């Protein structure tokens, strides 16, 4: 049986519309196949080979997927970089992932130029490409100025996205892939969609930025399954409904913030769109409030699926019927997954007992690129953890009762306080600091910082703005503290351990962070 891969589908049906860009531009499967083949030849001409990395700093557009599909059949890692990051942060990722080539858009060329100038990345001028053109970059067309013949020695490649952590620096989640033919690897990827009962073909709506792990994976898996990918760039609730109706969208991946924004539309606006084509509206990335989930099920019908996973892997799935029978669950383990709950001493806990969630996905392995210590801490007896706390019920369904100890989830985006604290503490007036999440009705959580100032300084509006401005220069806007409090001394024990909950808990009094 022919493996289900984009490359096989494109050869069999080149006139199929595989991709629709945010401006409505349509690309046939044959055209996308031609582009990704050309990119493979272009990358190889630059000297990239199996195990090397190409980075992209792009808005949602055809080139993201062209380069991704090229990497996927050349044994190359692709690292999509969040274009909301600062040059300081982008410089670290480009150097850490050891990018041998980069593709950006004209809008983000200044960001990439600044990052290259201040970083340690080894990116020669001939390996820097820009869609639309910019000084210091070769046109993206140059990378594609090669034959569109099927590349020889095809080899499966992977996406390597960056996830932050307690060390305060983002780390690339790197999976070894061996010498696996790309078509068979892609066929395995489509098995993820089958977990939800999604049929081959259909239309997948890409409603979030492709630099997110789940978003780019869902898009690629859908293309490998023979679907059309409809890209959104600037998300809006009514724009989502418009595209669902216009393109007869069958499935999409969203986060709870999308749900709350869509539910906030006036009843007559919501009723004005035909959403009957939707068979699977899948959500993850952040806890969904139970009333919101009920409202979405009432609106769209029994098509709202949930799953639990991370950039490192997963996971669990909850069908609409399973969730309605067990409100609040994030589902039962995938057929290839095993979930166990351990206490702090790594002892197995009984159903109903809360502990740390550990996951096993068959023989699945990963490392945190460049961070052996963090990798070692993540694994135990073939199971890995990302630090979430939860429990299993008697039937093996998982419930999350808290997030990672300190992680903030704002609008479905993971924000790690340690990363912010590492920058904040370098301000000359800051002696000590703590960052944590506080309630936000729209985004779920927002970033709060508490600072201990250098002796002799007085907290006032000027110093507040100076510190917040310092943050805005060094970290992405969505990670910057929305507000700043000052204390005489942060609560620490004699060994220096910070009692962060003493600072955070008053803001959550009477509220449940688990929902």
| Contact assessment for residue 197 and residue 322, using Cβ atoms and an 8 Å cutoff | no
Task: Give the confidence band of 496 by pLDDT, cuts at 50, 70, 90.
Answer: very low
289-304 mean pLDDT: 91
pLDDT at residue number 297: 97
Contact, 104 vs 133, CB < 8 A? no
What pLDDT shows up at residue 91?
93
Q: What is the mean pLDDT of residues 236-258?
A: 94
439 C-beta neighbours (distance < 10 Å), count: 13
Long-range CB contacts (within 8 A, 24+) of 114-120 = 114/87, 114/90, 115/87, 115/88, 115/90, 115/91, 116/91, 118/87, 118/88, 118/91, 119/90, 119/91, 119/92, 119/94, 119/95, 120/91, 120/95
Return all residues near 172 (Cβ < 8 A) that are at least 6 apart.
79, 93, 96, 97, 160, 161, 162, 368, 369, 370
Q: Over 70: is that where the pLDDT of 418 sits?
A: yes
pLDDT band at 286 (very low <50, low <70, confident <90, very high): low
Structure confidence at residue 513 (pLDDT): 55
Full 3-state SS string of 19-81: EECCCCCEEEHHHHHHHHHHHHHHHHHCCCCCCCEEEEECCCCHHHHHHHHHHCCECCEEEEC
Q: With helix as H, strand as E and coil as C, how does 178-236 read?
A: CCCCHHHHHHHHHHHHHHCCCCCCCEEEECCCCCCHHHHHHHHHHHHCCCEEEECCCCC
> How far apart are the C-alpha atoms of 252 and 241, rounded to whole Å?
12
Q: Would you say residue 167 has pLDDT above 60? A: no
Cα-only R_g, the chain: 23
pLDDT at 7 over 90: yes
Q: Among positive and negative, which fits the CA dihedral 124, 121, 61, 152? A: positive
Token pair in block for residue 455: 């002796």
The pLDDT score that the predictor gives to residue 402 is 57
Mean pLDDT, all residues of the chain: 89
Q: What does residue 275 show for φ and ψ, rounded to 5 degrees?
A: -110, 20
Question: Of the ranges 253-257, 345-349, 363-367, which is most confident?
Answer: 345-349
Can you spell out the DSSP letters for 432-458? EEEEEEEEETTTEEEEEEEEEEPTT--
SS (H, E, C) 108-177: HHHHHHHHHHHCCCCCCHHHEEEECCCCCCEEHHHHCCCCCCCCCCCECCCECCEECCCCCCCEEEECCC
**Mean pLDDT value across residues 277-282:** 97
What is the end-to-end Cα distance of the chain in Å, rounded? Answer: 44
Name the nearest CA neighbour of 444 among 263, 310, 289, 309: 289
In the chain, residues under CATH classification 3.40.50.12780 are 6-10+23-170
Q: What is the pLDDT of residue 11?
A: 97
- CA quadruple 58, 59, 65, 68: dihedral, nearest 10: 30
Give the pLDDT confidence of 14-68 residue by residue, as tens digits.
Answer: 999 999 999 999 999 999 999 999 999 999 999 999 999 999 999 999 999 999 9
Q: 507: closest CA among 462, 459, 440?
A: 440
For residues 233 and 102, the model is more confident at 102
Phi/psi class of residue 137: alpha, beta or left (left: φ > 0; alpha: ψ in -120 to 50)? beta
In the predicted model, is pLDDT for residue 279 greater than 50?
yes
CATH of segment(s) 408-508: 3.30.300.30
- From the number of C-beta atoms within 10 Å of its C-beta (0-12, 13-18, 19+), residue 395 rates as exposed
pLDDT tier, 227 (very low <50, low <70, confident <90, very high otherwise):
very high
What residues contact residue 434 under an 8 Å CB cut-off, 6+ apart?
417, 421, 449, 450, 490, 498, 500, 503
Give the Cα separation of 99 and 149 in Å (integer): 25
* Cα–Cα distance, 81 to 154 (Å, whole number): 25
Measured CA distances, 297 to 290, 302, 388 (Å): 11, 6, 26
pLDDT at 439 over 70: yes
Q: At residue 514, does pLDDT exceed 50?
A: no
How does residue 140 score in pLDDT terms, banded at 50, 70 and 90? very high
Residue intervals of the chain classified under CATH 2.30.38.10 are 329-402
What's the predicted TM-score (pTM) here? Answer: 0.81
* Nearest Cα to Cα of residue 423 among 476, 495, 501: 476
Task: Please tell me the predicted confidence (pLDDT) of residue 166.
Answer: 44
What confidence tens digit (pLDDT) does each residue in 351-410 have?
A: 999 888 888 877 777 666 667 777 777 777 778 888 887 899 999 999 887 555 677 888
The answer to whether 218 and 204 are in contact (CB under 8 A) is yes
pLDDT tens digit sequence for 111-138: 999 999 987 777 999 999 999 989 999 9
Among 159-163, 403-407, 495-499, the range scoring the smallest mean pLDDT is 495-499
HSE-up of residue 222 (Cα within 13 Å, Cβ side): 27
- Which one has a higher pLDDT value, 7 or 363? 7
Q: What pLDDT, on the 0 to 100 scale, is given for residue 35?
A: 98
Q: Is the pLDDT of residue 165 over 80?
A: no
How far is the C-alpha of 243 from the C-alpha of 161, rounded, in Å? 28
Superfamily of domain 329-402: Luciferase; Domain 3 (2.30.38.10)
Whole-angstrom CA distances from 199 to 9, 91, 250, 252, 309 are 15, 41, 10, 13, 21
What's the pLDDT band for 318 if we cut at 50, 70, 90? very high
Which region among 177-181, 306-310, 332-336, 503-507 has the lowest average model confidence (pLDDT)? Answer: 177-181
pLDDT value at 314 more than 80: no
For 6-10+23-170, CATH gives: 3.40.50.12780
**Banded pLDDT at 288 (limits 50, 70, 90):** confident
């Amino acid at each position: 049986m022919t493996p289900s891969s984009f490359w096989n589908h494109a050869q069999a049906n080149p006139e199929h519309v595989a991709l629709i860009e945010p401006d409505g531009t349509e690309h046939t499967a044959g055209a996308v196949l031609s582009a990704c083949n050309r990119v493979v030849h272009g990358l190889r001409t630059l000297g990239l080979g199996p195990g090397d990395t190409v980075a992209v700093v792009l808005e949602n557009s055809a080139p993201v997927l062209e380069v991704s599909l090229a990497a996927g059949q050349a044994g190359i890692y692709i690292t999509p970089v969040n274009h909301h990051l600062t040059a300081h942060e982008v410089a670290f990722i480009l150097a850490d992932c050891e990018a041998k080539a980069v593709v950006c858009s004209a809008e983000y060329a200044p960001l990439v130029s600044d990052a290259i100038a201040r970083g340690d990345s080894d990116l020669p001028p001939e390996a820097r490409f820009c869609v639309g053109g910019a000084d210091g970059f070769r046109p993206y067309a140059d990378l594609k100025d090669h034959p569109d013949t099927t590349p020889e020695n095809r080899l499966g490649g992977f996406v390597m996205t960056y996830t932050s952590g307690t060390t305060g620096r983002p780390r690339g989640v790197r999976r070894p892939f061996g010498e696996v033919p790309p078509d068979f690897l892609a066929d395995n990827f489509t098995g993820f969609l089958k977990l939800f009962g999604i049929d081959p073909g259909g239309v997948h709506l890409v409603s979030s930025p492709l630099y997110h792990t789940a978003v780019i994976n869902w898009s690629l898996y859908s293309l490998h399954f023979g679907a059309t990918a409809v890209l959104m760039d600037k998300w809006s609730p009514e724009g989502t409904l418009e595209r669902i109706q216009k393109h007869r969208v069958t499935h999409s991946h969203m986060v709870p913030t999308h749900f709350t924004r869509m539910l906030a539309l006036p009843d007559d606006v919501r009723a004005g769109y035909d959403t009957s084509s939707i068979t699977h509206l899948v959500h993850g990335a952040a806890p969904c409030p139970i009333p919101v989930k009920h409202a979405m099920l009432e609106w769209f019908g029994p098509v709202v699926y949930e799953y639990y996973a991370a950039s490192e892997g997963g996971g669990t799935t909850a069908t609409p019927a399973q969730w309605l029978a067990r409100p609040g669950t994030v589902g039962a383990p995938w057929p290839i997954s095993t979930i166990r709950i351990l206490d702090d001493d790594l002892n197995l806990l009984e159903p109903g007992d809360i502990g740390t969630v550990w996951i096993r996905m068959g023989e699945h392995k990963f490392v945190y690129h460049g961070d052996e210590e963090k990798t070692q801490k993540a694994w135990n007896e073939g199971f890995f953890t990302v630090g979430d706390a939860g429990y299993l019920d008697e039937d093996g369904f998982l419930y999350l009762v808290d997030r990672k100890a300190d992680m903030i989830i704002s609008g479905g985006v993971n924000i790690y306080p340690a990363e912010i604290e590492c920058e904040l503490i370098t301000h000359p007036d800051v002696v000590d600091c703590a960052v944590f999440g506080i309630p936000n009705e729209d985004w779920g959580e927002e970033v709060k910082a508490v600072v201990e100032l250098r002796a002799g300084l007085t907290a006032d509006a000027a110093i507040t703005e100076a510190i917040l401005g310092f943050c805005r220069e060094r970290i992405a806007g969505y990670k910057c503290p929305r507000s700043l409090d000052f204390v005489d001394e942060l609560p620490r024990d004699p060994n220096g351990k910070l009692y962060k909950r003493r600072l955070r808990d008053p803001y959550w009094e009477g509220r449940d962070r688990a929902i």
